[in-house]
């Protein structure tokens, strides 16, 4: 069976990896003031976008995910005649309507694809499954990398679904943002009060920077440090310990909402690259997608990997 993996643009992975694995993308539009941009994976274009400070708090911005109708059209135009099965992995359904939109679209797609496949000379049925990753950004990237490995190895559809579903529950994604108040303000505009105003203001006034975890459709703090760099290095060194303990899939995905060179400014990241190389783990670093940058703020750093159940010990 010819299987394709589909991710949404909130998923953080390098463009080269996405292209090499033939992963397909559900676009997300980003409106900034009166201009609309498409969330893409081109590192230089993303870097330029961040350099122009278009996601600063002085701009009115929002993300606009593909609608049910747009997802349906994309599948009918590009995928149903080329593939036999599509696995769609989305950002946490609690953070975006993409999962619900894709689920609704799947019903229409499965009713409408027959004539298209017949006209293309494609035998057999087309199937699809929508999977809520339960995580964000780099966490999605780890799940996608693992799933693409299973597809490349020629695993059967049901086995891919079973393995991917088990893996998504073992993904640990973490975020360090330089400005918690930014997260609070963006969340408040979407009706999300998970970051309280008092917490945000105290964090800002004392330069206390939390390490946030995104897991199981929830986002919560697990640690904090005095200053952004301190929290980033603490997260990196915790990740190194997990690498040395042994990961469930040989990937660590790291993204930054800005120039990739910003990662090299952190000693912890350099140590992470060395430790990963020794253990045969690939560090997939990339510029954070605009969707992530919009919600957590320029300069934010995300790290994710898959491991057995454990508590943050940083």
Looking at every residue in the chain, the average pLDDT score rounds to 92
45: three-class secondary structure by DSSP: helix
Q: Which two tokens stand for residue 174?
A: 């973490």
What average pLDDT does this structure show over 84-100?
A: 96
- pLDDT for residue 60: 86
Q: Which two tokens stand for residue 116?
A: 């298209």
211 closest CA partner among 245, 244, 248, 236: 236
- pLDDT for residue 20: 97
Distance CA 201, CA 288 (A): 25
pLDDT in tens, 156-201: 999 999 999 999 999 999 999 998 777 777 666 666 655 555 465 5
| 300: phi then psi, degrees, rounded to nearest 5 | -65, 150
The domain segmentation of the chain, as residue ranges, is 3-168, 171-306
Q: Worst-scoring range by mean pLDDT, 11-15, 61-65, 125-129, 150-154?
A: 61-65
Residues with Cβ within 8 Å of residue 164, at least 6 apart in sequence: 87, 89, 131, 143, 146, 147, 150
300: three-class secondary structure by DSSP: coil
What average pLDDT does this structure show over 21-33?
A: 94
- pLDDT for residue 198: 46
pLDDT in tens, 35-55: 898 888 888 989 998 998 888
Q: What is the CATH number of domain 3-168?
A: 3.40.50.10170
Q: E strands, 177-265, where?
A: 208-215, 218-226, 251-256
Q: What is the CATH number of domain 171-306?
A: 3.30.1180.10
């Amino acid at each position: 069976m010819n299987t394709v993996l589909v991710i949404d643009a909130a998923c953080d992975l390098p463009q080269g990896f996405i292209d090499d694995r033939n992963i397909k993308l559900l676009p997300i539009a980003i409106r900034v003031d009166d201009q609309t941009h498409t969330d893409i994976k081109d590192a230089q274009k993303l870097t330029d976008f961040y350099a122009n400070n278009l996601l600063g708090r002085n701009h009115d911005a929002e993300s606009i995910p593909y609608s049910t109708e747009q997802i349906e059209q994309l599948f009918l135009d590009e995928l149903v005649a080329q593939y036999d099965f599509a696995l769609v992995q989305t950002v946490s359904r609690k953070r975006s309507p993409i999962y619900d939109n894709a689920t609704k679209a799947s019903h229409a797609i499965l009713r409408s694809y027959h004539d298209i496949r017949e006209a293309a000379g494609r035998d057999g049925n087309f199937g699809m499954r929508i999977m809520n990753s339960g995580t964000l950004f780099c966490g999605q990237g780890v799940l996608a990398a693992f799933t693409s490995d299973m597809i490349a190895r020629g695993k059967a559809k049901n086995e891919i679904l079973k393995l991917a579903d088990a893996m998504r529950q073992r993904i640990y994604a973490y975020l360090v943002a330089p400005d918690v108040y930014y997260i609070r303000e963006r969340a408040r505009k979407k009706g999300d009060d998970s970051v309280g105003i008092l917490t945000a203001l105290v964090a800002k006034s004392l330069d206390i920077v939390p390490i946030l975890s995104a897991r199981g459709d929830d986002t919560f703090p697990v640690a904090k440090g005095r200053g952004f760099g301190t929290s980033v290095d603490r997260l990196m060194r915790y990740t190194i310990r997990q690498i040395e303990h042994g990961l469930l899939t040989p990937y660590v995905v790291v993204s930054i909402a800005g120039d990739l060179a910003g990662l090299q400014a952190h000693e912890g990241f350099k140590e992470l690259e060395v430790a990963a190389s020794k253990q045969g783990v690939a560090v997939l670093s990339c510029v954070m997608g605009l969707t992530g940058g919009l919600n957590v703020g320029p300069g934010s750093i995300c790290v994710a990997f898959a491991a057995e159940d454990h508590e943050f010990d940083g």
